[in-house]
Amino acid sequence: MNPIKHVAIIMDGNGRWGIKHKNSRNAGHRAGLNSVKSIINECLKINIRYLTLYTFSTENWKRPKKEINFLFSLLENFLTNKIDNLIKRNIKLKFIGEINKLPLKLKKLIKNSETKTSKNTSLQVNVALNYGSKNELINSIKTINKKKIKINENNIDKNLFTKNIIDPDILIRTGNTQRLSNFMLWQLAYTEIFFEKKLWPDFKSNDFKKILSKFKSIKRNFGSI
Active site residue: 2, 60, 135, 155, which one? Answer: 60
Nearest Cα to 11, choosing from 46, 48, 60, 45? 60
Q: How confident is the model at residue 224 (pLDDT cuts 50, 70, 90)?
A: low
Is-catalytic flag, 60?
yes
Angle of helix 65-81 relative to helix 104-117, nearest 10 degrees, comes to 30
Is-catalytic flag, 145?
no
Q: CB burial class (10 A; 0-12, 13-18, 19+) of residue 171?
A: buried
- The pTM (predicted TM-score) of the whole model is 0.96
Taking only the tens place, the pLDDT of each residue in 192-202 is: 999 999 999 99
Active site residue: 12, 130, 169, 207, which one? Answer: 12
- Asked whether the beta carbons of 30 and 38 are under 8 A apart, the reply is no
Taking the domains of the chain in order of start, what are their residue ranges? 6-132+168-216
Domain 6-132+168-216: CATH superfamily is Decaprenyl diphosphate synthase-like (3.40.1180.10)
Taking only the tens place, the pLDDT of each residue in 186-222 is: 999 999 999 999 999 999 999 999 999 999 999 877 7
